[in-house]
Amino acid sequence: MESSDNRVIVTDSLTKSFDDTVAVDELNLAVERGEIFGLVGPDGAGKTTTIRILAAIMWPSRGQATVLGYDTVTEAEAIKTDIGYMAQRFNLYRDLTVWENLNFFADVFEVTGDERRERISRLLEFARLTRFKDRRAHHLSGGMQKKLALACTLVHEPQLLLLDEPTTGVDPVSRREFWEILTDLHLQGITIFVSTPYMDEAERCSRVGLLHHGRLIICDAPERVRQGLEGELLGVRASNLKRAREIASQLEGVLEVQTYGDRLHVFVDDASRREPEIVDHLTGAGIAVHGIRQMRPRMEEAFISLIRREQVSSDQ
């Protein structure tokens, strides 16, 4: 890799198969220094497999990847010492305290003396865990365990972080706090490659890649992903959502209908024109419309739409 190259992660037709499952399928990706890159996708999309290959703990079946300029197969050791990797099921020592866990990782990465003391106390502050430093890891809440794992990942001051689903299964308040911490790290200039099944977290990244069945469906800045959506969006609350969906899907000017909690999200060519028509048709079919309003599409709608299009094209 040339020294002028600012790309810290590059994958070239990266592929990993397990028996007859293609977990990662011809992945081509480049992440630049300073980015906070989100690898987003549902369970089974191939996020963990991708990150394991990048962390140099799993070999690809085909293709290759470089991380910080090192080949993940032939220069694995250099990658392991230089990056910070937080596995989806990271290993904290349950019976050790917060402080002891941090010391353990400092041992592993040979951080010693004053530097160790100073760094650990800074990380405790940073992860908002100072008050809990004497608590055993298995007595921490799920959110605090994730923050401790992140702090352990930072002990050797890596410039690149690979974080595999660090917020999966964590309550929304802790998820937000975790992302505030990631944003702080990003502002310090650390490059972050983070995977998540939560589409709302994609909004917080400088760029996102949407992974589905091992394939990268789109890779762009969040606002550009949203802009790629066709049409305008109406949110509809109605008495019989299933029937309302069937009817709305048939109407002129309706591009796509998604069910979202107790709402329908109806993509139309022209919201102000189609709104009264939708209300008329639903009411005419005996469905009570409790509310309808134009909404600004989020990443979530954009991703669902992209996944749907991908499925339609692969079914044909």
Ligand X SMILES: Nc1ncnc2c1ncn2[C@@H]1O[C@H](COP(=O)(O)OP(=O)(O)O)[C@@H](O)[C@H]1O
Kindly list the residues in this chain that would bind ligand X in the complex (CB under 6 A): 18, 21, 23, 41, 43-49
Q: Which is nearer to ligand X, 50 or 191 (CB)?
A: 50
Binding at 18: pick from Mg ion, ligand X, none (beta carbon under 5-8 Å per type): ligand X
> Do the Cβ atoms of 33 and 6 come closer than 8 Å?
yes
Alpha-carbon distances, residue 287 vs 11, 239, 251, 275 (angstroms): 51, 6, 15, 15
Query: In the bound complex, what is the minimum distance in angstroms from residue 163's beta carbon to ligand X?
Result: 12
Query: In the bound complex, what is the minimum distance in angstroms from residue 165's beta carbon to Mg ion?
Result: 5
**CA 294 – CA 36 distance, rounded (Å):** 31
User: Which residue ranges make up the site for Mg ion (CB under 5 A)?
Assistant: 47-48, 88
Query: In the bound complex, what is the minimum distance in angstroms from residue 31's beta carbon to ligand X?
Result: 18
Q: Which is nearer to ligand X, 19 or 110 (CB)?
A: 19
Residues 6+ apart with CB under 8 A from 103: 116, 120
Q: Which is nearer to ligand X, 67 or 137 (CB)?
A: 67
Q: Which is nearer to ligand X, 44 or 235 (CB)?
A: 44
**CA 85 – CA 165 distance, rounded (Å):** 11
Binding at 23: pick from ligand X, Mg ion, none (beta carbon under 5-8 Å per type): ligand X
Per DSSP bridges, beta strands 62-67 and 7-18 are: antiparallel
Q: Which is nearer to ligand X, 78 or 306 (CB)?
A: 306
* DSSP for 97-133, written as a single string: BHHHHHHHHHHHTT--HHHHHHHHHHHHHHTT-GGGT
Q: Which is nearer to ligand X, 18 or 284 (CB)?
A: 18
Query: In the bound complex, what is the minimum distance in angstroms from residue 140's beta carbon to ligand X?
Result: 24
Query: In the bound complex, what is the minimum distance in angstroms from residue 198's beta carbon to Mg ion?
Result: 12
**CA 245 – CA 233 distance, rounded (Å):** 14
Binding at 222: pick from Mg ion, ligand X, none (beta carbon under 5-8 Å per type): none
- And the tokens for 173? 């308040």
Query: In the bound complex, what is the minimum distance in angstroms from residue 175's beta carbon to Mg ion?
Result: 16
Binding at 188: pick from Mg ion, ligand X, none (beta carbon under 5-8 Å per type): none
**CA 45 – CA 24 distance, rounded (Å):** 8
